[in-house]
Amino acid sequence: MFGKRTSQSATQNQPAAAAKPVAAKPVATRLPPGVAPKPTAAQRGISPQSTAGPVGEAHRSEEYYITKGMIFGALIEAIDLSQLSRLDPESAREEIRDIVNEIISIKNLVMSISEQEDLLDDICNDVLGFGPLEPLLARDDIADIMVNGCNRTYIEVGGKIQLTNVRFKDNTQLMNICQRIVSQVGRRVDEASPICDARLLDGSRVNVIAPPLAIDGPTLTIRKFRREKLTLDQLVRYGSITAEGAEILKVIGRVRCNVVISGGTGSGKTTLLNCITNYIDDDERIITCEDAAELQLQQPHVVRLETRPPSLEGTGAITMRDLVRNCLRMRPERIIVGEVRGPEAIDLLQAMNTGHDGSMGTLHANSPREALSRIESMITMGGYSLPARTIREMLVSSIDVIIQAARLRDGSRRITHITEVTGLEGDVVTTQDLFVYEILGEDAQGRLVGRHRSTGIGRPRFWDRARYYNEEERLAAALDAAEIRDGARVLGG
């Protein structure tokens, strides 16, 4: 019944296709045949209902999926995918809508207009976009999307992980979508190369791990790119830090302290690094090294570098260490490493120590002290047989400040410490907290109640640096305000 659109589509369907601006608007033909390019957010044409996210999905019954499967099958038979891939996304969407409407009427399927609209969107998303993921991708309040096989998709909203009702038809559909995502950046994921990192066109960071490594089906993790970039002032509004604390961070960013941002997974390290880099002067030459480019520096003079995984033959990998080392030959003033996780730690420390003041990096650790021992073990594991004392001397002479970020058990993200590395006593690296977050209790809704306060240190070690940049008054005022006001609040109960 839809034969006219299959084998004969190239001829019989020509007028309809020609009526649309197929020839005038050639689409990205580098995509595999049958895979139309991913529409832009505006082109996605997702209805308001579907952008509302899993709520819309929540009431979908088993029959819905059966009907959809049946229509989808008929559509795939009826449509010439290679021709579809030549259409621009909007025309392709229209073409699919026409055919689906036709299938619905020929099969005499009874459904309400809104059900039909839902189904149309759903099917268009399957054929043209990232299928059931599309409504989640369209939402800006989601931090992470975590797909654990075809039946379970979780999201992180407001620091809390929630199960959604998003489902894929089967693991094959999920795998096809994973493949479609990674092929955008010229990568491949299959049994032979089951691990893949990629980036969506909007900048979201993607990881795919497929069977046999992922036992329960393809597992996809997306760190959603936030359209609206967070700033320190917004972090103050969210209660992640106080205005005084933010002021101290602004000074630290500006006066070229060497900074390590430490925190657990998803605690907001990259966000914080991004915020602090805002206070770097415009005339500095900054080089960023990342595994997946996430930082969005606003300065005019930025060089962005990204690591490269090995090819399928296992060759051609460019590691973070290669990048950091190369940076040193690029006349950097500041080096910013997205995430330090291996032997590049020693290169970053050396850079910090050799005239690249104001370099920064993030790492996974649960406290400032743990951050120091993590760096130490990264260096030792990198094959350096340096005495512990030498490594610690290096830590002390390179790192000025450690900023600790945390995602607390109620889902809130806070900056819990601004800590200075002060020196070496015997074999022990000494630190002093300038600014801390203390948890005081919990409110009736289960939210943590706490407060940020300065520890009363009036003159941090980077005081001279602050004075050199004419920022000492601002620093003193912020430290002072944080201490007195919070002290008063505590006394007042």
Point out which residues bind ligand ATP (CB under 6 A): 143, 223, 226, 230, 235, 238, 240, 263, 265-271, 413
List the alpha helices (DSSP H) in 79-148. Answer: 81-84, 89-106, 113-128, 134-138
| Cβ proximity to ligand ATP, 143 vs 255, nearer residue | 143
Q: Which partner from the list Mg ion, ligand ATP, none does 44 bind, CB cut-off 5 to 8 Å by kind? A: none
Q: Which partner from the list Mg ion, ligand ATP, none does 404 bind, CB cut-off 5 to 8 Å by kind? A: none
- Name residues contacting Mg ion, limited to 260-279 (CB under 5 A): 269-270
CB of 249 closer than 8 Å to CB of 275: yes
Residue 11 Cβ, how far from Mg ion at the closest point, in Å?
A: 53
| Cβ proximity to ligand ATP, 183 vs 231, nearer residue | 231
Token pair of 153 as six digits: 């998709």
| Cβ proximity to ligand ATP, 34 vs 264, nearer residue | 264
Residue 67 Cβ, how far from Mg ion at the closest point, in Å?
A: 41
| Cβ proximity to Mg ion, 196 vs 405, nearer residue | 405
| Cβ proximity to ligand ATP, 60 vs 199, nearer residue | 199
- Name, in order, each residue with C-beta under 8 angstroms of 260's C-beta and a sequence gap of 6 or more: 340, 360, 361, 362, 363, 371, 375, 399, 401, 402, 403
- Name residues contacting Mg ion, limited to 83-102 (CB under 5 A): none
Say how far residue 219 (Cα) sits from the centre of its chain.
Answer: 16
Q: Which partner from the list Mg ion, ligand ATP, none does 256 bind, CB cut-off 5 to 8 Å by kind? A: none
Q: Which partner from the list ligand ATP, Mg ion, none does 267 bind, CB cut-off 5 to 8 Å by kind? A: ligand ATP
CB of 60 closer than 8 Å to CB of 54: no
Q: Does 454 bind Mg ion (CB under 5 A)?
A: no
SS3 letters across 387-447: CHHHHHHHHHHHCCEEEEEEECCCCCEEEEEEEEEEEEECCEEEEEEEEEEEEEEECCCCC
Residue 205 Cβ, how far from Mg ion at the closest point, in Å?
A: 8
Q: Which partner from the list ligand ATP, Mg ion, none does 468 bind, CB cut-off 5 to 8 Å by kind? A: none
Token pair of 157 as six digits: 């909203």
Say how far residue 315 (Cα) sits from the centre of its chain.
Answer: 27
Q: What is the DSSP string of 291-359?
A: SS------SSSEEEEE-B---TTS---B-HHHHHHHHTTS--SEEEES---STHHHHHHHHHHTT-TT-
| Cβ proximity to ligand ATP, 143 vs 327, nearer residue | 143
| Cβ proximity to ligand ATP, 153 vs 267, nearer residue | 267
What 8-state DSSP symbol labels residue 286? E
Q: Which partner from the list ligand ATP, Mg ion, none does 481 bind, CB cut-off 5 to 8 Å by kind? A: none
| Cβ proximity to ligand ATP, 86 vs 414, nearer residue | 414
| Cβ proximity to Mg ion, 224 vs 269, nearer residue | 269
Token pair of 41 as six digits: 């957010």
Reduced to 3 states, what is the DSSP secondary structure of residue 80? coil
Residue 263 Cβ, how far from ligand ATP at the closest point, in Å?
A: 5
Residue 142 Cβ, how far from ligand ATP at the closest point, in Å?
A: 8
Q: Across the beta sheet with 219-223, what order do the strands follow? A: 160-163, 153-157, 142-148, 219-223, 205-209, 195-199
d(CA 465, CA 470): 9
Q: Which partner from the list Mg ion, ligand ATP, none does 479 bind, CB cut-off 5 to 8 Å by kind? A: none
| Cβ proximity to Mg ion, 270 vs 431, nearer residue | 270
| Cβ proximity to ligand ATP, 245 vs 263, nearer residue | 263
Which residue is nearest to ligand ATP, using beta carbons?
A: 268
Q: Which partner from the list ligand ATP, Mg ion, none does 223 bind, CB cut-off 5 to 8 Å by kind? A: ligand ATP
Residue 127 phi, psi dihedral angles, 5° rounding = -80, -40
Residue 429 Cβ, how far from Mg ion at the closest point, in Å?
A: 25
SS3 letters across 154-174: EEEECCEEEECCCCCCCHHHH
Residue 252 Cβ, how far from Mg ion at the closest point, in Å?
A: 19
Token pair of 78 as six digits: 């009826």
What 8-state DSSP symbol labels residue 24? T
Residue 295 Cβ, how far from ligand ATP at the closest point, in Å?
A: 10
CB of 378 closer than 8 Å to CB of 342: yes
Residue 16 Cβ, how far from ligand ATP at the closest point, in Å?
A: 43
Q: Which partner from the list Mg ion, ligand ATP, none does 332 bind, CB cut-off 5 to 8 Å by kind? A: none
CB of 17 closer than 8 Å to CB of 83: yes
Strands 401-407, 259-263: pairing is parallel
Q: Which partner from the list Mg ion, ligand ATP, none does 143 bind, CB cut-off 5 to 8 Å by kind? A: ligand ATP
Residue 244 Cβ, how far from ligand ATP at the closest point, in Å?
A: 16
Residue 379 Cβ, how far from ligand ATP at the closest point, in Å?
A: 21
Which residue is nearest to Mg ion, using beta carbons?
A: 270
Residues that bind Mg ion (CB under 5 A): 269-270
